[in-house]
Amino acid sequence: MRVDIISIFPEYFAPLDVSLMGKARERGILDIHLHQLRDWTHDVHKTVDDTPYGGGPGMVMKPEIWGAAVDAVIGEGRAASGEDTLPRMIVPTPSGRPFTQEVALEYAKEPWLLFAPARYEGIDSRVVAEYGARLRADEVSIGDYVLAGGEAAVLVMVEAVGRLLPGVLGNARSVADDSFAPGAMANLLEGPVYTKPPVWRGHEVPEVLLSGHHGRIARWRRDEALRRTLERRPELAARLDRESFDKHDRRV
């Protein structure tokens, strides 16, 4: 997958050299290109923002600079691939579509993502309108809080999408067993996990996990996932497919 990120802080993305994402890049599974937005400015101060129309505090990022940057990055990506493709553009904003595991899975199927993280009060809204008409452009929120800039949101999304790419995780089953995974884990949180020793500071590992009985262990894991979801995320539990519940599920 090719990933382009345009930002006034490209150095913010150093963590993508580390751990799973670093390895995915080394192996060529994740091809990340960082771009400095200010390279598309023309004044000595390399200005990317201006005062908002209608007044009010804060500054808004200028559409001409973003337009020039996005056009150039798309041109560069198309020349490199030699194909007539366009990226899926993702603009982080607190007012966007909520980023979920489902959205991460959707993005993991794309060959090319282009992220446009903003600073200040965001990017002039005509930029999303323009690219929304030319390619698929999504405004996406990573949660109901406000960050200082979109870079941290991009790190979150690249990591969530990157670990879903074939070959990134050692064991592909981990993805299917994760919280929120489509199928058996849809709308479910994963239950508690344990490793050796069997007793630590008087806390015992649940006996069933030491039994070696795969059927009982699978049943226990499902019960714990249901219990935890009901307790911690009742709004998620409300979306569970109760039609498909067996009699054990109903008891939980």
Q: Is 55 in the site for ligand SAM (CB under 6 A)?
A: no
Active site residue 121: yes
CA-nearest of 38, 40, 37, 34 to 14 is 34
Active site residue 163: yes
Q: At its nearest, how many Å lie between ligand SAM and the CB of residue 8?
A: 11
Q: At its nearest, how many Å lie between ligand SAM and the CB of residue 158?
A: 13
For residue 149, say whether it is annotated as part of any ligand binding site. Answer: no
Contacts of 75 (CB under 8 A, 6+ apart): none
> 139, 103 in Cβ contact below 8 A?
no
CA-nearest of 63, 65, 8, 64 to 40 is 65
Q: Which of 31, 121, 177, 249 is catalytic?
A: 121
Report how many residues bind ligand SAM under the rule CB under 6 A: 19
Which residues in the 78-107 window bind ligand SAM by CB under 6 A?
92-95
Rounded to 5 degrees, φ, ψ at 138 are -115, 135
Binding ligand SAM by CB under 6 A: which of 32, 49, 69, 150?
150
Active site residue 178: yes
> 87, 137 in Cβ contact below 8 A?
no
Q: Which of 4, 138, 163, 221 is catalytic?
A: 163
Active site residue 10: no
Q: Annotated binding site: which residue ranges? A: 142-147
